[in-house]
Amino acid sequence: MHSTPLRLLLACALTVSAVAQGPQAIGQRDVAWPNPTGNGTPVLDSVVYYPAISSGVNAPVAPSVDGWPVIVFLHGYGFLGSAYTALATSWAEAGFAVVLSETSQWDYFGQAHDGRALHEAVLAANDAAGGPFEGAFDVARMAIVGHSMGAANVANVLIANPGYRCGFAFAPAAPLGSDLTQVHVPVGIVAGDGDSVTPWSWNAMLFYQSLTQHGSFKFLRVFGDDCDHMNLVGLTSTAPQILEATTKTSIGFLLHCLGVGTTGLEQVFGAAAMTQPDDPHTFREMVVPQMWLSSALRTGVRSQISIAVDNGPAVLFAAGALIPGLLTPYGILSIDPTTAFPAAIGFSDQEGRADLPMNLPADPSLVGLVVAFQGSGAGLGSQFVLGSSTLTQVE
């Protein structure tokens, strides 16, 4: 236990620990999981990429205390998941287990069934005693992601959500005929001005606008003319900076929404992410303010906490612990009210982000101190609401 008063962190800095430290070996395994739901393809053929002890086909999964967070990926029309190796490798290097669906190559409606069934198949594989993925997956942290047809089916899967915590869509086709008011989790979308297959103004924008009950936040990022339907997911090698940007955006969003680390949204809404030359359009809606750290919380190091709000002031609260959640007139309080205090106050800029510089004293006694943070500010409609929270430790 540290006797240092928590209020010393009024002049502090924050942020995150990476999901994987240093180069991460990547394993790859073909699977043929039985469909446990009875709806969709009877056998859910997939390719799984994952952090491994050594790189290669069928390599053993690298140990993880709680298992690796999971991305279930739905391919575009006419493709299969194995075509998206560039995305899968980057995600696995970032600490995700990635399930690339190899079914429903031409079947729009069947793919939606398979996307829901894969959630249950991952649970079964994780519980299978003696299987190659026994205990490998963090089944409480699963996301559904897709491209083109598969991106449209991200919406259809989430309408009858079996348990995915968020969705991410690359260049989606418009999910026509679907009631997206039934989607109740955060959704991120990326598209390109150079896309002539699913032009974003007719497809991604319709998708984005129809997400009216997501509950916390959504965004649509449209990259420039160099970004087309294929290169934003690595199906072609033109404009490699596009793939790098879209991959970073997806990783940041998924880390944040799955509760892995504390800095994910820096890659989505941070200053560098918002000023890329290929990024002329960003649309976002914050029902609940979202908070993140810019870097690891270390003594003697200047850092920054950011809060994305609808507009106006933002307040950062600090406390000694997180709590399960307490309903208040201002939303869900997620930090210990007996130790909570306002640590910093700021105002949003033209991008709707309040950046709060922090300086942690160069005091060795602070190392190991655990601090809970919760952001707050203007949500949709300019009402003051409590936002997202995180727990971090001084290094």
pLDDT, tens digit, for every residue of 170-196?
Answer: 999 999 788 999 999 999 999 999 999
Residue 91: per-residue pLDDT: 98
Residue 206: per-residue pLDDT: 96
**Where would I find the beta strands (DSSP E) of the chain?**
26-34, 43-51, 56-57, 68-74, 97-101, 137-147, 166-170, 187-192, 217-223, 281-286, 290-293, 302-308, 313-319, 322-328, 331-335, 341-347, 353-359, 370-378, 384-393
Q: What is the pTM of this model?
A: 0.92
Query: Domains in the chain, start-ordered, CATH in brackets?
Result: 6-15+289-393 (2.60.40.10), 26-260 (3.40.50.1820)
Residue 216 in this model has a pLDDT that exceeds 60: yes
Q: At what angle do helices 240-257 and 85-93 cross, to 10 degrees?
A: 50
The position carrying tokens 């205390």 is 65
Identify the band that residue 21 occupies on the pLDDT scale cut at 50, 70 and 90: very low
Query: What tens digit of pLDDT does each residue of 84-93 get?
Result: 999 999 999 9
Please give the average per-residue pLDDT across 77-105, as a whole number.
98
